[in-house]
Amino acid sequence: MPWEGLTALYAAERAYLDTWTAVAERSPADSAYHAWVQNWSGQPFRAFTALGRDLDELAGAPSPAQAQRLGVLFTRAARFELAFWEMCWSGLAWLA
Amino acid sequence: MAGLSQRLFALGRPNLERQLAHPTVRGIAAGDLDHTRFRAWLVQDYLFLLDYVRLFALAAARAPDPDTLGRLVDLAHATFHQELSLHRAYAAEFGLAEADLDRAEKSPTCPPTPTSCSAPPPPPSSPRCWPRCCRACGATPS
């Protein structure tokens, strides 16, 4: 199914955008990370989340079995996002 | 019924909450994450993006139609020329030269997550890894 790959991409980009958007709302203007945070939550980056619309168009109305499969893929990809933060915090090896 | 992407987002919501509560993310938000950890993140994200460009290029090569081909090439191009440039510029502000980024190595990778919780433990020489658990119940840090 071509939309399996798109589901993984959507999971990654969506998690990234949502996280940075939430961070931007809290980031003090004098923070060393402020410019960086503004970049990732900015408008150009939102173009990546058009992937969600693509997914809806491409997948149409998936069967329950297909929807469940995409849910598993989405959740697994989203866990990698969390693993990335943890890897850099504690030095845990990359999740496989 | 909500669209597929909306339903997937709802499924990922608990994971998003865990990300927002993660000390790396909280530290970046508050501005008090120590720079050593941020540099570690920046370097790994830089290496990730290089592979992400390769992924888009591979997907582009298999695109089923011209429109998709163009969009995937655009994603590869933007990631390589814009995102990676931004990483280099920001890394420089944190004392990392381009050469530091180019000779950096990816974090070691855990042995594959077993498909069963009763799988034997990894050899003691393995890098420090996440809790061993099967894919069905998920491997996430405590």
Q: What is the DSSP string of A64-77?
A: HHHHHHHHHHHHHH
- pLDDT for B29 equals 94
Low-confidence ranges of chain B (pLDDT < 50): 134-137, 139-142
Q: Which helix (H) or strand (E) holds A63?
A: none
The reply to whether residue A93 touches residue B126, judged by beta carbons under 8 angstroms, is: yes
pLDDT at A77 (0 to 100): 86
Given B16, B111, B127, which is nearest A15 (Cβ)?
B16
Angle between helices B84-93 and B35-61 (to 10 degrees): 170
Nearest residue to A86 via CA among A77, A95, A78: A95
- Predicted confidence at residue A71, as pLDDT, reads 92
The pLDDT, as a whole number, for residue B136 is 45
The C-alpha atoms of residue A68 and residue B17 are separated, in whole angstroms, by: 22
State the Cα–Cα distance between residues B72 and B55, nearest whole angstrom: 9
What is the predicted pLDDT for the residue at A44? 55
State whether residue B12 sits within 8 Å of chain A by CB.
yes
Q: Are A52 and A10 in contact (CB under 8 A)?
A: yes
Distance from CA of B102 to the nearest CA of A (A): 18
Short-list B100, B125, B94, CA closest to B111: B125
Minimum-distance CB partner of B130 among A23, A36, A92: A92
Handedness of CA B15, B129, B111, B122 (dihedral sign): negative
Kindly report the pTM of this predicted structure. 0.83
CB pairs under 8 A between A and B: 149
Nearest CA in chain B to A69: B8
Structure tokens given for A95? 């999740």
Interface probe with B: pick from A26, A87, A90, most Cβ of B within 10 Å: A87
Alpha-carbon distance of B2 to B81, in angstroms, equals: 36
- Cα B31 to Cα A71, B24, B50, B129: the distances in Å are 34, 10, 27, 28
Among the listed residues A30, A42, A66, A86, the one whose alpha carbon sits nearest the alpha carbon of residue B24? A86
pLDDT score at B131: 58
Low-confidence ranges of chain A (pLDDT < 50): none
Residues 70-109 of B with CB under 8 A from A: 75, 86, 90, 106-109
Distance CA B5, CA B16 (A): 15
Please identify among residues 40-79 of chain A the ones whose CB lies closer than 8 Å to any CB of chain B: 48, 52-53, 55-56, 59, 62, 67, 70-71, 74-76, 78-79
Q: What angle do CA B132, B137, B140 make, to 5 degrees?
A: 55
ipTM of the complex in this document: 0.86
CB atoms within 10 A of CB B78: 16
> In which residue are the tokens 């297909």 written?
A66
Q: Do A89 and B59 make contact, defined as CB atoms within 8 angstroms?
A: no
